[in-house]
Each structure stands twice: as C-alpha cells, then as structure tokens.
C-alpha cells in the first residue's frame, strides 16, 4: 500500500495547528540508519487509508520527494471527539531486521463448527490481534483462526493453530499460549447429553414430594 508524504520544515505546536487547519497532518518517520524526519501528510488521504485494516499491518510504501521508502505504521493520534487525525508515527523497515508488531486475527468457519451447529453455542473471540515478530517479507496482513472443529464448552488456544511461516508470537511464560476463542453454551456451562437435566428434574420431584 502506498501513501504520499512531504518534508515538514516547520515544527512546534503553532506550526502543527496551522498544518491541520490547512488539511495537513504532521507526522514523523524514524528507524533504520537514517535520522528521524518530520513529514506531513494529506489529511483526507491518510484518514481513508487508516480506515483500512491492511494499512495497520502491512509494509507501506511511503512516497517522499520522488523516492519510495518502506515503512510500518507505529502510532496514530486522533482528536478526542472529531474524525480528525492529529499525528502519525512511522518506522523505517530494513529487509533483514526483524520487526515486532500487532496483526489482526480473522476468525473463520465459526458457523460450521459443532459448537454452533449442534449445541447452538455462542463463540466469543477472546483476542482480536496478536503481537508477533518476523522479517518484513514474512509479515502477514492477518492471521486466520479456523473454528470449524471447535466443540461446545471448549477453548481454542494459540497452540491449536499454525502461524504463518517465519512468524513467531511474542508472548512468553504463562502468556505463551493465550486463549483465542471459546464456545459458550447458552444458559451457561458446557453442553451435555441431557443427563444433568434429568437429574435436575428428579431432584425437583423429590423436593416436591418432601414438601407434601
């Protein structure tokens, strides 16, 4: 994905306000062997780009002064209540240097799972993104999580799926195998063969007899 940028010669709070009033967005690009650069962006272009999920988890081509640089989106500052981008941070990408970033999870086949088809369970997505490390060339725009075999009352963990080639999850220790999704049976608890319901009916009958 591409976006356009120009060098920003003026800095400071007042200069940033003037930029924003003119429909521009102050930004910075850092990292790699070069020094940080203050840049500016067209607000409408970056606003619509930021609404695309892929823009947040892709290697981006920044067109700056007729040259293309590969960068990664690092941070976005939004206005507290207006649909306005206030500032953007980008990091330069070096082909042979690993990067660490967050990638969205795409859950698929939930409606086809036994949890939903047989037990009418509700699938809850525990996580919506993963923090990973990889080389720039291996960065996925998203990671698919297949729920087709999820059973009622079960939980799908990271160890149950296969990460894309070259991708490593950042978590360690107890957080090395986080839960990704869980299937909750309506009414609470895992689905059973109905024995619990029968036992409950018998208990209720017994209580009724005792009262009489």
Question: Do both 69 and 108 map to the same domain?
Answer: no
Domain count for the chain, please give it: 2
Question: Do both 27 and 80 map to the same domain?
Answer: yes
Question: Do both 25 and 85 map to the same domain?
Answer: yes
Question: Do both 60 and 9 map to the same domain?
Answer: yes
211 in any annotated domain = no
- pLDDT tens per residue across span 68-105: 999 999 999 999 999 999 999 999 999 999 999 999 99
Question: Do both 23 and 88 map to the same domain?
Answer: yes
Q: How confident is the model at residue 195 (pLDDT cuts 50, 70, 90)?
A: very low
Measure the CA–CA gap between 39 and 54, rounded to whole angstroms: 22
Domain holding 136, by residue range, is 100-184
**Listed range (39-53, 140-154, 192-206) with the worst mean pLDDT:** 192-206
CATH of residue 142: 2.170.120.20
Question: Do both 17 and 86 map to the same domain?
Answer: yes
Question: Do both 108 and 176 map to the same domain?
Answer: yes
Measure the CA–CA gap between 145 and 199, rounded to whole angstroms: 37
pLDDT of residue 112: 96
Choose one of 64, 93, 122: the last residue of a domain.
Answer: 93
Question: Do both 76 and 116 map to the same domain?
Answer: no
Choose one of 93, 108, 143: the last residue of a domain.
Answer: 93
Measure the CA–CA gap between 53 and 140, rounded to whole angstroms: 12
Q: What is the mean pLDDT of residues 126-152?
A: 96
Please spell the DSSP secondary structure of 127-156, one letter per residue.
-SEEEEEE-GGG--S-EEEE-TTPPTT-EE
201 in any annotated domain = no
189 in any annotated domain = no
158 in any annotated domain = yes
Measure the CA–CA gap between 17 and 79, rounded to whole angstroms: 12
Verdict on whether the full-model pTM lies above 0.85 = no
191 in any annotated domain = no
Q: Write phi, then psi, for 103 (nearest 5 degrees).
A: -125, 135
- pLDDT tens per residue across span 58-71: 999 999 988 999 99
Q: How confident is the model at residue 206 (pLDDT cuts 50, 70, 90)?
A: very low
Question: Do both 89 and 108 map to the same domain?
Answer: no
Question: Do both 27 and 55 map to the same domain?
Answer: yes
């Amino acid at each position: 994905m591409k976006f356009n940028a120009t060098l920003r010669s003026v800095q400071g709070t007042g200069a940033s306000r003037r930029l924003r009033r003119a429909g521009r967005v102050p930004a910075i690009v850092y990292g790699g062997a070069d020094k940080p650069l203050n840049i500016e962006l067209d607000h409408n272009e970056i606003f619509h780009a930021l609404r695309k999920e892929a823009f947040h988890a892709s290697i981006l081509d920044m067109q700056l002064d007729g040259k293309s640089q590969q960068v990664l989106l690092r941070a976005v500052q939004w206005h507290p209540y207006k649909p306005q981008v206030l500032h953007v941070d980008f990091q330069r990408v070096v082909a042979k240097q690993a990067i660490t970033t967050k990638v969205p999870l795409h859950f698929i086949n939930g409606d086809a799972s036994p949890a939903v088809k047989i037990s009418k369970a509700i699938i809850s997505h525990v996580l919506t993104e993963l923090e990973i490390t990889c080389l720039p060339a291996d960065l996925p725009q998203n990671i698919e999580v297949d729920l087709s075999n999820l059973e009622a009352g079960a939980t799908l963990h990271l160890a149950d799926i296969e990460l894309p080639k070259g991708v490593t999850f950042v978590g360690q220790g107890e957080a090395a195998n986080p839960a990704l999704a869980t299937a909750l049976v309506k009414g609470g608890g895992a689905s059973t063969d109905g024995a619990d319901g029968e036992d409950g009916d018998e208990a209720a009958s017994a209580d009724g007899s005792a009262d009489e």
